[in-house]
Homo-oligomer: A and B are copies of this chain.
Amino acid sequence: MPIYKAPVEDALFLLNDVFQINRYNNLPGFADATPDLIEAVLGEAAKLSEEVMQPLNRSGDAEGCTRHDDGRVTTPKGFKDAYRQYADGGWMGISAPAEFGGQGLPETMTIVVNEIMAAANMALTMYPGLTQGAIAAILIHGTPEQKAAYLPKMIEGRWTGTMNLTEPHCGTDLGLLRTKAVKLADGAYKITGTKIFISAGEHDLSDNIVHLVLARIEGAPAGIRGTTLFIVPKFLLNADGTLGARNAVSCGSIEEKMGIHGNATCVMNYDGATGFLIGQENRGINAMFTMMNEARLAVGMQGLAISEVAYQNAVAYAKERLQGRALAAPQFPDKPADPIIVHPDVRRMLMEMRAFNEGARALVVWTALQGDVEHRSPDEKARQAAADHMGLLTPVIKGVLTDQGFANAVMAQQVYGGHGYISEHGMEQFVRDARIAMIYEGANGVQAMDLVGRKLPRDGGRALQAFFGEVQGFIKDNGSDAMKPFVGPLGAALGLLQQATMWLMQNAMTKPDNAGAAATDYMHLLGRVAIGYMWCRMAAVAQAKLANGADQRMSAKLVTARFYMDRMLPDTAVHLARIQSGAASTMELPVEAF
């Protein structure tokens, strides 16, 4: 049975010491987030995740969801009760506005809590995760009446939400979608069509399911600018807000898939279902993007979450499995063999996971705080800078954290050898679950194109210049001998990133394929540099804390930072080489030669 211990100490180190959340106390909700409160919230989240959600992870995978002949879907044993505890604990709305029943805490808190929940049980956590995305969309785009009707119930967790974009013939290219909306006399719409891959589309956890559905109004322009977002509740609401008639939306089937078996991935049939416009006509994609950006950050966090839990299990196994002897001399001569953690190749895998997890967590917390600034700051310039940061780093976090999160789940499984391949230890489930995060909410290649094609050039490259400026400023301000082993490699890697950027500016305008062929490498190059910057910031804080007395955790931070510089940051050079090779050999083969 896999273990999991929520990384509360590490989160507190980031929130309190590295990013000093108290510096943001001028923002609404932040003053409430005192160190004591943060620690208490994370402690409770840890308890729920470790004691309630994690024990259901393997059984939920083995049992999966069941669709009954009448279209009902049952979640695995225990999910309903665990979800109830989650909702009753107020977790859905810890960052939601108080006027709708939320606690108004920083969004950063939700993101940190969601890592903990997803690590314990990714499939289960997806039900509230999608609801939080739907809440965000209704908060921004809903009418006051819609907010009043839906948000309190959703924030309370009595109702859940979904996102309905994909159709059989269209995923990335939503302009192709065919689901039809016909305006009715009363101002509502009749929605007809089929949506696929709808996570949490139907289940038994909540009294109502609020579907957000992208559709095309009759006569709308072709393509993405002819799509509109609708609220389509499973049960229509009576005038008093109570549940009324069953709407004409149903789950046609649930997919057999590689993992996240505890989450129902549904084919949803809209058979003239009643829908309500949210946002403006033909501007559906704008409304959807609100959800998608929140969701992309959350999905990146899932990559980290699985990497963390997989790492913890790999460490436990590496300490306990006796096999072979240390290369120089036996470490435990009284035992029949040494624990495999003595082997450098096992250590290499553990350290790579560790360095990624701690660095990626810092990147997410840093970015989540910028998200709060974007949404809550009274200062327009601060909001803009934060929005730039979010725009630039959201695709990086989504793409890099899920790619490496999956790779780390594979690595953790490798530490177990054959025992990792059988289901018993749960390691192969981590691999199967982590895999989806590279695909949904925009496949990682799409994230890379979003970064290179949209986020880099936007506003004359302002976001990237600000990132460069911040990293360079840090390097300049931290030139002490003690910091050189960290900022030295970071500066070199930043130089490679700047070369790559320059190459794109010079070569991608005239030949867009050069950008397309570079995109994934650029995303990973930027990710390596950004996490390298995080390691430098953590190293600086760790050194300051160590100056005030020994602290094994802070010493470990410095070793792990060095490992990152030695073994992970050098990847930047090969990304640059690939980028600079251009698109020629990638694109030259005629299609029929494949």
- Write the residues of chain A forming the contact surface with B, with a CB cutoff of 8 angstroms: 166, 169-173, 176, 196-197, 255-259, 265, 315, 318-319, 322-324, 327-328, 336-337, 339, 341, 343-351, 354, 406, 410, 413-414, 417-418, 420-424, 428, 431-432, 435-436, 438-440, 443-445, 448-449, 511-513, 515-517, 519-520, 552, 555-556, 559-560, 562-563, 565-567, 570-571, 573-574, 577-578, 581-589, 591, 593-594
Contacts and interface: CB of A to CB of B under 8 A. Distances in A.
A518 to B, nearest CB: 8
B438 A173 contact: no
B578 A445 contact: no
Nearest to A438: B414
B589 A559 contact: yes
Nearest to A328: B512
Given A423-B256, A444-B414, A585 B562 contact: yes
Given A341-B594, A567-B578, A570-B577, 9 more contacts: A169-B322, A173-B322, A173-B337, A176-B322, A348-B517, A414-B439, A420-B439, A566-B584, A566-B585
A257 B594 contact: no
Contacts of A582: 566
Tally of this chain's copies: 2
Given A323-B172, A351-B585, A513-B328, A424 B577 contact: no
A173 B418 CA distance: 13
Contact of A417 (B172, B351, B585): B172
A439 B415 CA distance: 9
Contacts of A170: 323
B556 A581 contact: no
Nearest to A561: B585
A593 B555 CA distance: 9
A87 to B, nearest CB: 28
A492 to B, nearest CB: 11
B567 A585 contact: yes
B517 A345 contact: yes
Nearest to A354: B594
A255 to B, nearest CB: 5
Contacts of A560: 585, 589
A199 B313 CA distance: 26
A439 B422 contact: no
A519 B345 contact: yes
B336 A517 contact: no
Given A170-B323, A431-B435, A566 B552 contact: no
Contact of A351 (B256, B555, B589): B589
B345 A428 contact: no
Contacts of A323: 170-173, 176
Contacts of A348: 517, 520, 586
A180 to B, nearest CB: 16
A344 B432 contact: no
A428 B258 CA distance: 6
Given A516-B343, A585-B566, A439 B421 contact: yes
A428 B428 CA distance: 13
A319 B413 CA distance: 34
A9 to B, nearest CB: 13
A497 to B, nearest CB: 15
B421 A520 contact: no
B563 A570 contact: no
A422 B255 contact: yes
Contacts of A587: 344, 347
Give me the 4 closest cross-chain CB pairs, A-B, nearest first: A344-B516, A327-B512, A566-B581, A258-B428
Contacts of A421: 257-259, 435-436, 439-440
Interface centre among A256, A343, A413 (most CB of B within 10 A): A343
B414 A176 contact: no
Contacts of A324: 172-173
Contacts of A573: 573-574, 577
A420 B444 CA distance: 14
Contact of A593 (B197, B256, B418, B552): B552
A561 to B, nearest CB: 9
Contacts of A517: 344-345, 347-348
Contacts of A418: 166, 171, 196-197, 439-440
28 contacts: A166-B418, A169-B322, A170-B323, A171-B323, A196-B418, A255-B422, A258-B421, A258-B422, A327-B515, A339-B591, A344-B516, A344-B583, A344-B586, A345-B517, A345-B520, A347-B517, A347-B586, A350-B594, A413-B435, A417-B443, A418-B440, A432-B432, A556-B589, A562-B585, A566-B586, A567-B581, A570-B578, A573-B573
Given A351-B585, A418-B166, A556 B436 contact: no
A142 B424 CA distance: 37
A448 B344 CA distance: 11
Given A439-B414, A567-B578, A567-B581, A256 B344 contact: no
A50 to B, nearest CB: 19
A512 B324 CA distance: 14
